[in-house]
């Protein structure tokens, strides 16, 4: 996959993470489906207040995210390099669709949230880095810090003038996705999960077509495209 396609997929995936996280935050009363640092803090506060029952869901979300990360990493390691993106996106599509079905059928929303955390954990294996900036992952704090560093270097004349643009685009994508998720939830409720489910499926198919249309690099020592 070329750098241009990596950037495009990464920005869209980051926006989708923001969309899903906004839905989770609204429905779970302040918990997250992609930002595990927030869930870790919530779990710690509950334990510190002597309320272990309130630490259960944050702990389960963290565990689901970890399982997703392991699964995504395993798919990335075992799948032929050219097909890593479609394979991981297929896993993510199944997980988000399972969250949609679970939520719409009226099951406990916490179960749907676990599927979303599973999907977000796997998503990080799609495009961890795109030539110098982080995209397609749920670690936006790192992207924001990198944005600040590169902006400082640009202002000091010690780095590329627009070297910060990629990290800024990733942060803006998360922001825009979260706003879209909030608006979608206001109008559709949990059915808004159909949007990221459909988007993940389209990205999976798109990645498959791009992979089929591109020639694999020659030579056994070629690097993974992801």
Q: Please tell me whether residue 130 adopts helix, strand or coil conformation.
A: strand
- Alpha carbons 181 and 196: distance in angstroms, whole number: 9
Strand partners, 133: 130
Count of other CB atoms within 10 angstroms of residue 207: 23
Residue 10's pLDDT is 80
Domain ranges of the chain: 4-210
DSSP state of 133: B
Residue 100's pLDDT is 92
Residue 167's pLDDT is 81
Regions of the chain with pLDDT less than 70:
1-5, 106-108, 127-138, 215-226
pLDDT in tens, 93-107: 999 999 999 988 766
Q: What is the reported pTM?
A: 0.84
- Alpha carbons 100 and 7: distance in angstroms, whole number: 27
Q: How many CA atoms lie within 13 A of 124 on its CB side?
A: 19
Q: Which two tokens stand for residue 202?
A: 């389209």
* Assigned CATH topology for domain 4-210: Growth Hormone; Chain: A; (1.20.1250)
């Amino acid at each position: 996959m070329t750098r241009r396609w990596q950037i495009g997929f990464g920005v869209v995936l980051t926006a989708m993470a923001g969309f899903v996280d906004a839905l989770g935050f609204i429905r779970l009363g302040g918990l997250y489906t992609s930002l595990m640092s927030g869930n870790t803090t919530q779990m710690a506060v509950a334990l510190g207040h002597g309320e272990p029952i309130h630490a259960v869901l944050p702990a389960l979300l963290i565990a689901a995210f970890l399982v997703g990360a392991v699964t995504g990493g395993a798919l990335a390691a075992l799948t032929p390099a050219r097909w890593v993106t479609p394979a991981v996106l297929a896993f993510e599509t199944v997980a988000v669709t399972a969250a949609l079905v679970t939520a719409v059928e009226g099951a406990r929303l916490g179960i749907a949230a676990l599927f979303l955390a599973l999907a977000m954990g796997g998503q990080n294996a799609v495009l961890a880095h795109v030539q110098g900036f982080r995209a397609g992952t749920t670690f936006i704090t790192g992207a924001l810090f990198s944005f600040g560093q590169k902006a400082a270097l640009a202002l000091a004349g010690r780095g590329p003038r627009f070297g910060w643009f990629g990290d800024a685009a990733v942060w803006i994508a998360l922001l825009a996705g979260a706003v879209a998720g909030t608006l979608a939830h206001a109008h559709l409720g949990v059915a808004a999960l159909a949007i990221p489910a459909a988007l993940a499926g389209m990205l999976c198919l798109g990645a498959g077509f791009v992979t089929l249309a591109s020639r694999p690099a020659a030579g056994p020592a070629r690097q993974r495209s992801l």
